Every structure is written in C-alpha cells, then in structure tokens.
Chains A and B, each alone.
Chain A
Amino acid sequence: MTIASPQTRQPDSAAPAAMLPTEWRDFFTLTKPRVMTLVIFTAICGVLAAPGHIHPVLGFTAILAISMGAGGSAALNHWWEADLDAGMKRTMNRPLPGGRMRREDARDFGIFLAAVSVGLMGLAIGWLAAGLLLGAIIYYAVIYTMWLKPRTPQNIVIGGGAGAFPPLIGWVAVTGDITAMPLLLFAIIFFWTPPHFWALALFVQSDYAKVGIPMLPVVAGEKVTRHQIMIYTLLLAPIAIAPWVIGGTGWIYGSVAVVLSALFVLLALPVGARMKADGDKMLPEKRLFKYSIVYLFVLFAALVADRVAAYQGWLA
C-alpha cells in the first residue's frame, strides 16, 4: 500500500505534456464546483445572519473571495492528489489524471486563485477576514490535503474544519471581529461533517483503500465508524442549539434547531446500533446521509430567516 508522499509523487515535469491548450472548462473543474455550492451557501448565510450592515457590492465581493479561495484550494488539492486520483474510478477522469492538463498549470492556477482571493478580501473588506481566508486555504491545501489526509483515519474530521470556515469568514466580513456566534457556526459544520460523510462511506464502496488513504471504515472497521457517527451526532445536537441558548438567535432558529437535531439523533441511533447484514440495502445509512444534507441547508436557512426577522423588527 503506497500513499502520495513527496517522496513517491511524480515530479511535475513527468506529467503528460498536453499538446493542445487546456480547455477553460477543465480549469473550472479544478475548482470542484459541486463542493462550492455548500461553500457559497454557508458563506451567504454567514454574511446575511451577521449583525450590522454591509454594502451589497461588498457582501458580494466577500462571497466571491471566499468562493475563489475555496476554488484555489481545490485546484491545489487536484495538483497534489493527481497520482491518487489516477488510481480511483471516481476521479480518474479529472483533468490531471485524464492527461488534459499539465500538473504545474493546476498548481499555478490554484496559487493564483488563492492569492487573488486573499488580496481581494483584504483590499475590499478587511485584513481579519483576509487572514481567516488565508488560514482556511492553508488548512485545506497544506494541513489537510498534504499532511493529515494520508496519515490519519480521522481525516474526515480534519477536512470538516476546512468546510466550516465560509460562514465564519462571511460573518467576520460584516462585523470585523470574531465572537461566539461565528465560532458556533464553524463548530456546527465541523461536527456535522463526520456523520454526514461516514454515513455515505458505509454504503458506497470507494477506492481510497487502493490508493492508501486511511478512511475510517477501512482502517478501523464498520463498528467503530458507526460509533463515531453516534458520538459526533450527539456532539452536534447541543452545538446546533447553542446559538439560541446563548441568546444569539431567536425562537425561529431555536425551534428549528431543536426539531432538526432531535430528528438527526433519532436517525443516527439505528445507524450506530446495528451492523450490516447479508443483502442489506443500508436504508438507515442512506436515510441519514440524505437527511444530513437537508439538515444543514434548513438549519442555516432558519438562522438567516431568524436574524433577518430580528433585524427588521418583525419579532418585536
């Protein structure tokens, strides 16, 4: 079993030299547009839910900078993991393993997007938000992708931290300081990621083991994964309700968070308690995975609805 370490990776010059110029669509693919939808959505929620006013143009710029930073990190992830991607069915047709782009082009594109995103955020919004964005990019591209993903089965937990930055940065772009509320939004996505991803990992066969990435279900087994899903769900529930408990939100968010989190725990219980049987259709795991997506979107939508209603004085 080999992993992509700096010693085993092919040098950039060994990448297939594309004779034709790379299509712009392949550069767009490097930014992982599907992952970007969650980034954009949570960043928008962070901007809209934060107290205070931001000019619509500056709000748009903050979301654009966050999206560009996420795109740049994703491009660096493509660059670093090109060898691994070539060995997995799901990723073997990406621009680099597919031979449609030179490896150094993906690296340069990623660095360029990341640098422009941080510069744009700093100049248009402020340097605290820009610093957080730079931190998020380094966290995902270096700490997660290059360092910890190939080394620990808790890689999903660590990766969740990268996905948790957008609402925090969006919030800070409006307020200019870090308070308990944006940190709680960060924590919600951080603790939501493991049950969301591991529920999927239980019923989808991946090639990660083949390329040496130590995913929890492969390394520690199904039973441990199910227990971890339960643990993170039980941690997520009080954290999701905490914004209401500390007085950061009103009853709209509070009631939605209580109901949604209770349902999350109820759906995670059977997943945590059972084991896969022969011919198992894995319905509880599929249900939990689908619900986790709805959970996050509705929870953040409720947060925005709650805050907008409060700022407009509709709840008074």
Chain B
Amino acid sequence: MTPEEETEYRRRQKSRNWVIAGALLFFVVLFYAITIARIGGAS
C-alpha cells in the first residue's frame, strides 16, 4: 500500500467509525426515549 493509499484507508476508516458511533449514540437515546414513552403510556 502506497502512503497515499494508506492515508485514504485511514480517512475512510475514520469517517465510517464516526458514522457508526453517531448511529449507536442515536439508538441509545432513541431506546431511552422509547422506554420513557412506553412507561408513560402504561401508567
């Protein structure tokens, strides 16, 4: 792998990691909100 390819490899890996982290965070918040909504609806 050339240095340019290595740089591109790291860039793509990093951007994917950020997207996955964002998606995970989003689902953590969403499941918390769903739980609150369902508990509220049940009471």
Binding site for B on A (CB under 8 A): 19-24, 55, 57-58, 61, 64, 123-124
Contact = CB atoms under 8 A, between A and B. Distances in A.
Interface string B17-39: 00100000000001001101110
Interface of B: 1, 5, 8-9, 12-13, 15-16, 19, 30, 33-34, 36-38, 40-41
B16 A124 contact: no
Contacts of B15: 23-24
Contacts of B12: 20-23
Nearest to B15: A24
A123 B37 CA distance: 13
Given A57-B33, A58-B37, A24 B16 contact: yes
Nearest to B32: A57
**Chain B contact residues, majority secondary structure:** helix
Contacts of A64: 30
B41 A21 contact: no
Contacts, number: 37
Contacts of A61: 30, 34
Nearest to A55: B37
A68 to B, nearest CB: 11
B12 to A, nearest CB: 5
B13 A21 contact: yes
Nearest to A24: B19
Contacts of B1: 19
Contacts of A55: 37-38, 40-41
Given A55-B40, A55-B41, A20 B9 contact: yes
Nearest to A59: B37
Given A24-B16, A24-B19, A123-B34, 9 more contacts: A19-B5, A20-B8, A21-B9, A24-B15, A57-B30, A57-B37, A58-B34, A61-B34, A64-B30
B23 to A, nearest CB: 10
14 contacts: A19-B5, A20-B8, A20-B9, A20-B12, A21-B12, A21-B13, A22-B16, A55-B38, A55-B40, A57-B33, A57-B37, A58-B34, A61-B34, A123-B34
